Amino acid sequence: MAKKNLIIDTNVFLSDSDCFRKFENNDLFIPVKVLQELDKHKKRQDSVGFHARRSIKTLDTLRGSGSLSKGVRIAKGLGVLKILKVEELAVDDLPKGLSHNSADHLILAGALAVQRSQPKRKCIVVSQDINMRVIADAIGLSTQDYQSSKVVESREAIYEGFRKVLVDDEDIDAFYDDQEVYLYEEDFGNNPIMPNEFVMLVSSSNEKKTAIGRFDAWHRPILHLINVDDDLSWGVRPKNKEQRCGLDLLFDDDIPLVSLIGRAGSGKTLMAIMAGLEQVLGMDQGKYQKIVISRPVEPMGKDIGFLPGTMEEKILPWLKPIQDNLQFIMGSDRTMFDMYMQKGMIEVEALTYIRGRSISNAFVIIDEAQNLTAHEVKTIITRIGENTKIILTGDIEQIDNVYTNEMSNGLTYAVERLKGSHLSGHITFKKGERSKLATEASKLL
């Protein structure tokens, strides 16, 4: 394969500080403007700041091997990395209308300089910014997206945690009679069933005859779903089969991590909060000592700026959707919510400060987890201590974090990487239950 020259955009480093070793034997060129952009982000207390600092440290380590301005080999078998100084940029080659003060345009000027100096080697601008790639293409530069963090090829390929399985009519009768029903590995070939995946058993002679269970292992029978309908304290009941499957995971003590994906109004957050309340304050009171609730601080639309007050007061506006669900379950009396907050039985946590914590004996809910990066999800899950259950909920169609997408966000990352573990369970909610209008809007808008 012919060696290529790659000009790396800032956003690549901000999304993956390990990218240096992921370009094989191709040479990397970094315009000095990229270093200035990394410097602007290094003080951020999120994954972007983490990757900015880590990228700078990597460059500092490489600097010990030689001059970055002349070029330093990244490692054995990998290419050379070179920093492009301002005077090396082909600023005069930029078309009229492209500002010389724009960071993106200066990076493109670096690409034009490399292309001009080495015309026989293919020059490619690597960027996650779609508009950057469009402009680069418009001025005659080859481009490519950076997708190292993508865990699935498409949104349709994301694990749903539910499938239909054709079985004999007698198997369904046996399942309802509480007899043991098994599935056999050889029947599924290259598409094996995952631990804790839900299966709808469909009769081969009558497709309307069905039963829903949960797969555990090939040597164990299909499990019946936990039935908690008659014992729920606040009157909230599952309205469809996906919600019932979700409750089965939420009330199973042997599954410490549960992920729920669904469109707006599908009930994922409501089910998670209701299950937490039941196991802290309701029918299973005392199973966990408290509910810890948080969500990423990612605004939709224009940010309103800094908020006054203590950490709890600052984070409460972001948790208004959580309060809406709590009020729906508990009723409109806010004093009950405030009382549980004061007693420490419902705890509001800012994700920014979760690093270093060890959360034990708690029911943890991370809402809007699609706005987390893979690194942030790993940080959160590794904070979980003994007798703690963590719930990740989110809608991968509503991502506000500019550094992730449907295939690379932290929620998708967790679902895909943990789907083979007996310690995790996942279900995708498909039906909207908030209102007819909300359901119609999520489909058509």
- Model confidence pLDDT, tens digit, residues 46-95: 778 889 999 999 999 999 999 999 999 999 999 999 999 989 998 888 88
Cα–Cα distance list, 347 to 5, 50, 350 (Å): 51, 26, 10
Whole-number Å distance between alpha carbons of 294 and 393: 11
Q: How many CA atoms lie within 13 A of 67 on its CB side?
A: 4
Whole-number Å distance between alpha carbons of 259 and 273: 13
Whole-number Å distance between alpha carbons of 95 and 139: 8
Whole-number Å distance between alpha carbons of 269 and 321: 9
- Return the pLDDT at 148: 63
Strand partners, 165: 201
Whole-number Å distance between alpha carbons of 173 and 318: 48
DSSP letter at 359 equals: B
Residue by residue, DSSP assigns 184-201 as -GGGTTTSPPPTT-EEEE
- Return the pLDDT at 143: 95
Whole-number Å distance between alpha carbons of 183 and 193: 9
* Residue spans of the chain under pLDDT 70: 148-149, 230, 283-284, 297-321, 332-334, 350, 352-356, 433-435, 438-439, 442-443, 445
Residue by residue, DSSP assigns 83-143 as EEPGGGS-GGGSPTTS-TT-HHHHHHHHHHHHHHH-TTS-EEEE-S-HHHHHHHHHTT-EE
- Return the pLDDT at 303: 45
pLDDT digits 0-9 by tens, 178-214: 999 999 999 998 899 999 999 999 999 999 999 999 9
Structure tokens given for 93: 């080659």
Comparing CA positions, the residue from 93, 113, 110, 123 lying closest to residue 27 is 123
Whole-number Å distance between alpha carbons of 60 and 39: 13
Whole-number Å distance between alpha carbons of 301 and 269: 22
- Contact call for residues 205 and 176 (beta carbons, < 8 A): no
DSSP letter at 361 equals: S
The maximal CA–CA distance of the chain, rounded, in angstroms, is 80
Whole-number Å distance between alpha carbons of 66 and 59: 11
Cα–Cα distance list, 79 to 21, 47, 312, 393 (Å): 9, 27, 48, 41
Helix axes 47-63, 32-41, angle to 10 degrees: 140
Strand partners, 292: 347, 364
- Return the pLDDT at 326: 74
Domains in the chain, ordered, with CATH? Answer: 5-144 (3.40.50.1010), 231-444 (3.40.50.300)
Residue by residue, DSSP assigns 208-268 as T-EEEEE---TTSPPEEPP--GGG-SS-----SHHHHHHHHHHT-TT--EEEEEE-TTSSH
Whole-number Å distance between alpha carbons of 145 and 423: 34
Structure tokens given for 284: 């299973």
Structure tokens given for 329: 């379950």
Total count of residues recorded for the chain? 445
* Distant-in-sequence, close-in-space partners of 241: CB < 8 Å, separation ≥ 6: 200, 212
Tokens 């034990």: give the residue: 360
